Amino acid sequence: MSSRLKQAIKLTIPVMAGYVFLGSAFGILVQSHGFSIWIALFMSLFIYSGAMQFATLPLLLNPIALIQVFVLTVSISARHLFYGLSMLKPFETLGKKKGYMIFALTDESYSLLLNHTDDDQLMFSIEAINHFYWIVGTILGYLFGNLIPFSVAGIEFSMTALFIVIFLDKLFEGQLEPLMIGLFVSGLSLLLFGSQYFIIPSMVGIVIGLLLRRKS
């Protein structure tokens, strides 16, 4: 096993704890709605967007117009546009891996990549391993959902729980400055724009704050 792979596994352990659990929650939901395991696997392989995957299940049961699906997808995943802006330069030298890196840039992977933008192989390993965790969690959840009856009430909170785990992990690592930037900008955006519209302004502000911090 290469040193980069070992380092990536070590760095992604907190994400593994969240992704296996959250992916399992998604797998259980897919099974509870009567879809096949291949639907669950396909979605985790090619959508790989926790919030959007959860939101897709009702759309499969009650289809809506494509334009509505597009608007919903953009609304849920718009924050990734702002993540991507700060990763344009680090991804320049990735060659054929660049497409996958853009596709697999989740919230949790982004938080890890920020500290390793000078190491192409490590960045790729982090994203690929996190994707693997999510797929494994999805399969396990689907299989357990078949074997053991689960109540799916409140299972969507697992997304929020994952963000709390990542936040606490960074807090214990002593990375206070980026956390404070995130909290301050999010709180200010919530006050200015309200709970329905604060997410995109928060993402813009956080990215700007992190870029300014990086340059200083």
SS (H, E, C) the chain: CCHHHHHHHHHCHHHHHHHHHHHHHHHHHHHHCCCCHHHHHHHHHHCCCHHHHHHHHHHHHCCCCHHHHHHHHHHHHCHHHHHHHHHCCCCCCCHHHHHHHHHCCCHHHHHHHCCCCCCHHHHHHHHHHHHHHHHHHHHHHHHHHHHCCCCCCCCCHHHHHHHHHHHHHHHHCCCHHHHHHHHHHHHHHHHHHCCCCCHHHHHHHHHHHHHHHHHC
pLDDT lower than 70: segments of the chain: 1, 71-72, 75, 78-79, 148-167, 169-170, 173, 175, 199, 214-216
Are 156 and 195 part of one and the same domain? Answer: no
pLDDT at 46: 92
Are 122 and 181 part of one and the same domain? Answer: no
Are 167 and 187 part of one and the same domain? Answer: no
Total domains in the chain come to 2
In single-letter form, the type of residue at position 143 comes to L
Are 127 and 183 part of one and the same domain? Answer: no
Q: Crossing angle for the helix pair 199-215 and 79-87, nearest 10 degrees?
A: 10
Are 188 and 97 part of one and the same domain? Answer: no
Domain, as residue range, for 96 = 3-173
pLDDT at 86: 78
Are 116 and 185 part of one and the same domain? Answer: no
Are 83 and 130 part of one and the same domain? Answer: yes
Are 181 and 191 part of one and the same domain? Answer: yes
pLDDT at 165: 63
Tell which phi-psi region holds residue 34, choosing left (phi > 0), alpha (psi between -120 and 50) or beta.
left
pLDDT at 153: 58
In whole angstroms, what is the distance from residue 86 CA to residue 64 CA?
A: 34
Are 136 and 182 part of one and the same domain? Answer: no
Are 88 and 115 part of one and the same domain? Answer: yes
Q: Measuring CA to CA, how many Å separate 55 from each of 63, 100, 150, 151, 156?
A: 12, 23, 20, 18, 10
In single-letter form, the type of residue at position 105 comes to L
